[in-house]
Chain A
Amino acid sequence: EDKVVQSPLSLVVHEGDTVTLNCSYEVTNFRSLLWYKQEKKAPTFLFMLTSSGIEKKSGRLSSILDKKELFSILNITATQTGDSAIYLCAVEAGGGADGLTFGKGTHLIIQP
């Protein structure tokens, strides 16, 4: 059974700090790993990673995948209160599997 484990489950930091969120996975026939941000309702797509060692970057957010060690990290630099959200990690399996397998998420709170 495919499995995604995120850590920490919750994190409180001050504005301006840098945070690193972790995601480890076990999946048969790995295809991709995805990060989502969920503020109120709809998870919004951040990154999709398929290759090891290639950093994806969008503004203050970046992410990298290690397919050998089966994990990914999401970095947020110079955090702002608007970064407060639940960050979800999910994996996509190939071989005809449908949908994504999600972790429980990291609840990030940025204090002013």
Chain B
Amino acid sequence: ETGVTQTPRHLVMGMTNKKSLKCEQHLGHNAMYWYKQSAKKPLELMFVYNFKEQTENNSVPSRFSPECPNSSHLFLHLHTLQPEDSALYLCASSQDRGRAPLHFGNGTRLTVT
């Protein structure tokens, strides 16, 4: 158990589906992050939240929609995805924004068919 829990572990969805990824951190951290990990590419930062406020949107397409209702929970809402969006989506948290290290969850393996 990493202190950062993500569900589901695996998700297969069609391009017209709507689904959500969930992340919960039990570390008392104030900042939470979404990263995308594709094969043979570096982890890509998608979104950053600090005290529930979004501080960064790294040019992510609007078919990805984050939500942070409180400092412990983070969601990523997905709709009308493309096959190239298939990847491992990792959630992370840190004590505060811009304060490494980040602590990662196990990720959600997403396949878009």
Contact = CB atoms under 8 A, between A and B. Distances in A.
Contacts of A43: 43, 90, 104
B60 interface: no
Interface in B10-57: 31, 33, 35, 40-43, 45, 48, 50, 55-56
A104 interface: yes
Given A4-B42, A43-B90, A100 B102 contact: yes
B101 A41 contact: no
Contact of B102 (A40, A96, A99, A103): A99
Nearest to B41: A104
Interface string A33-72: 0101000111111001000000000000000000000000
Interface residues of B, number: 27
A87 interface: no
B100 A41 contact: no
B100 A92 contact: yes
B107 interface: yes
Contacts of A44: 2, 104
B5 to A, nearest CB: 10
Interface of B: 2, 4, 9, 31, 33, 35, 40-43, 45, 48, 50, 55-56, 88, 90, 97-98, 100-107
Q: Which 8 A-B pairs have the closest CB atoms?
A: A41-B106, A98-B48, A99-B45, A102-B43, A102-B42, A92-B100, A98-B56, A42-B104
Given A97-B98, A104-B40, 16 more contacts: A41-B88, A41-B90, A41-B106, A42-B105, A48-B101, A88-B43, A90-B43, A96-B98, A98-B31, A98-B33, A98-B45, A99-B56, A100-B43, A103-B42, A104-B41, A104-B42
23 contacts: A31-B98, A31-B100, A40-B106, A41-B9, A42-B4, A42-B104, A42-B107, A43-B90, A43-B104, A44-B104, A45-B103, A48-B101, A88-B43, A92-B98, A94-B98, A98-B48, A98-B50, A98-B55, A98-B98, A99-B33, A101-B42, A101-B45, A102-B42
